[in-house]
Amino acid sequence: MKYLHGTDKVTVGLVASFMLLPSVALAQSKTLNNPLAFPTITELLQAILNIVIVVSLPIVALFIIYAGFLYVTAQGNPEKLQQASRALLYGIIGGVIIIGSVAILTIIENLVAEF
């Protein structure tokens, strides 16, 4: 390109771009196949959320049962009662977050559907 003048550079650029044109035209005819069974992102997120709910809700239930066991075995000990109260609080917060995630996903889905 060092020895080409201004108009020659334009000519070489146009020839090169016309040579690449068939490959660009062929690239447009190819399609990408979705390897997932979910056609939209929201359906994929719903499926993931359903799996998380199925796995985590029994854990939350066991955590609440454990907190009840701590209450029963505390026998008036303030430290153990505080530990049991904290375990119950964390179990309830975890359950609310998990159930709340369904509501958040529904809100996001409705907002995206508006656009």
Residues 76 and 56 grouped into a single domain: yes
| Continuous H helices in 30-77 | 41-74
**pLDDT tops 70 at residue 6:** no
Structure tokens given for 84: 């049991």
What are the CA-CA distances from residue 106 to residues 11, 44, 70, 97, 101 (Å)? Answer: 56, 13, 36, 14, 9
Residues 23 and 39 grouped into a single domain: no
Instruction: Tell me the three state secondary structure of residue 3.
Output: coil
Q: Tell me, what's the pLDDT at 59?
A: 94
pLDDT (tens digit, 9 = 90+) per residue, 63-102? 999 999 999 999 889 999 999 999 999 999 999 999 899 8
Number of helices (H) and strands (E), helices first, in the chain?
3, 0
**pLDDT tops 80 at residue 10:** no
Residues 4 and 22 grouped into a single domain: yes
- How far is it, in rounded angstroms, from Cα 23 to Cα 8? 24
pLDDT (tens digit, 9 = 90+) per residue, 22-64? 655 555 556 777 777 888 777 888 899 999 999 999 999 999 9
Q: Tell me, what's the pLDDT at 2?
A: 58
Residues 25 and 45 grouped into a single domain: no
Q: Tell me, what's the pLDDT at 33?
A: 78
Residues 10 and 39 grouped into a single domain: no
- Model confidence pTM above 0.75: no
* Domain count across the chain: 2
Residues 23 and 10 grouped into a single domain: yes
Q: Tell me, what's the pLDDT at 91?
A: 94
Residue-range definition of the domain harbouring residue 10: 1-30
Cβ atoms within 10 Å, residue 106: 12
* Cβ atoms 49, 105 nearer than 8 A: yes
* Cβ atoms 56, 35 nearer than 8 A: no
